[in-house]
Amino acid sequence: MTASLPIRQVEKPWGVDNLPAPFTAPRGERIGEIWFEPPAALPELLVKYIFTSEALSVQVHPSDAQTVAKGIGRQGKEECWLILDAEPDAVLGIGFDHEIDAEAMRAAALDGSIEQLMTWHKVAPGDFFYIPANTVHAIGAGVSLIEVQQNSDITYRLYDYGRPRELHLDEGMAVSRGETYALDRWHRNVPAHGSHVLVDGPLFVLDQVEGTPSPTVAARYPGALLVIPREGSVTIGGETIAPGGCGLASSLQDVRFADNGVCLLARGCQTGA
């Protein structure tokens, strides 16, 4: 079994012409996302790099409970972002400055004023945000980040800056919360080095580790996991995974970590609801 996950480069209207190293974009394409195909051993997680030259749509995702109630199974989407690089004026739109009801939100989405109603957070490398389902959000221009998410492609666009793409106002209004974002709960700054718990369930677990994980961290990963090198390479079953890659390990014991390397570890929580 190959440890390295296959990569898919996804062209987006808001993507970039020149990808940062170690990635390379096909000539003439604006690549916005780099996906690592979810393996059969961990189908519930999707890891992406995202690169923006323009703002993404204002959007929202449903929860597992909502998609189950709709009769389409567990296809909810919660996600988190670790900012890798950001231009000086880069921002993320998450939640609203003040509570807003569904009728006012729909009207604002239709006339474009939803941009002015959202809270825009200035970002820098090391900023980390968790985005619960039902949270209205948008990634601004000039941002590079790693996203770890539930493996779902259900996105409801509420506003897209006049781009000729479909909006999903009925579906979006049904799941959107017109609330402020709990910054003190869902945001933190992650130092470039050191080991830090980033997400502790209930849907997935995510850690940053430097060097070999401590026994405490190791106990959080009893089975299959994803390893995403940030600095230095790791070896999984004899295969080297370098920064820019993502590897699947059947257990933590199969991974050899560089002494001064930094990587992310992730796994799903099958019992998440």
| Positions marked active-site | 157
Instruction: Using DSSP, state whether 100 is helix, strand or coil.
Output: coil
CA angle 39, 51, 111 (to 5 degrees): 110
257, 216 Cβ separation under 8 angstroms: no
- The pair of three-digit structure tokens given for residue 69, joined into one six-digit string: 């109630």
**Number of Cβ within a 10 Å radius of residue 192:** 11
- In SS3 terms, 190-205 reads as CCCCCCEEEEECCCEE
- The pair of three-digit structure tokens given for residue 241, joined into one six-digit string: 């995974």
> Whole-angstrom Cα distance, residue 203 to residue 81?
15
Burial class (CB within 10 angstroms; exposed 0-12, middle 13-18, buried 19+) of 102: middle
CA–centroid distance for 72 within its chain: 22
- The pair of three-digit structure tokens given for residue 242, joined into one six-digit string: 């370098």
